[in-house]
């Protein structure tokens, strides 16, 4: 079923986001972490480019988690058996989320730790 216009597409995407938040615990945890790090960015007076890094990596992490959730649901819908093939697919998709999450934490550490240490001195 194809959407007839951009508004239907946006509504479907918003429904997908809402369903992921309702059904997947990770989204609430990621949101709490992102808000905490955003507050640190604000308190430590980050530059515009530092906010760009923050928002780009947060967006990438959430996008990866949405795709990971979709992949897991497809596998569970069509072949809910515990097999090596299914385990590999799910683990590989989760690995993509982990790579983005590590990039987020490493980048934010490089940005925020020196600022925090400068306040302590």
pLDDT at 2: 75
Say if pTM beats, i.e. exceeds, 0.85.
yes
DSSP codes of every residue in 62-75: HHHHHHHHHHHHHH
pLDDT, tens digit, 9 for 90 and up, residues 93-103: 999 999 999 99
Determine the average pLDDT of the residues in 73-87: 89
pLDDT at 82 over 90: no
Which of 92, 110, 119 shows the shortest CA–CA distance to 53? 110
Domain ranges of the chain: 26-120
pLDDT confidence of 1, banded at 50, 70, 90?
low
Torsion on CA atoms 7, 12, 17, 19, rounded to nearest 10: 140
Round to whole Å and give the CA distance between 38 and 44: 10
CB 61 within 8 Å of CB 104: yes
Q: Which fold has domain 26-120?
A: Helix Hairpins (1.10.287)
Residue 96, H or E segment = helix 84-120
Residue 77, H or E segment = helix 48-78
pLDDT at 79: 84
pLDDT, tens digit, 9 for 90 and up, residues 13-46: 999 999 999 998 889 999 999 999 999 999 999 9
pLDDT at 52 over 90: yes
CB 69 within 8 Å of CB 97: no
């Amino acid at each position: 079923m194809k959407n007839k216009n951009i508004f239907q597409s946006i509504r479907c995407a918003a429904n997908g986001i809402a369903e992921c938040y309702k059904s997947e615990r990770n989204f609430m945890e990621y949101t709490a972490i992102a808000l905490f790090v955003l507050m640190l960015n604000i308190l430590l007076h980050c530059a515009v480019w530092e906010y760009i890094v923050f928002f780009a990596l947060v967006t990438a992490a959430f996008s990866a988690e949405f795709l990971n959730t979709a992949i897991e649901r497809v596998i569970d819908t069509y072949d809910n058996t515990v097999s090596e093939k299914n385990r590999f697919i799910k683990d590989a998709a989760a690995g993509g989320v982990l790579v983005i999450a590590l990039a987020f934490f490493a980048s934010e550490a490089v940005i925020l730790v020196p600022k925090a240490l400068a306040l302590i001195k």
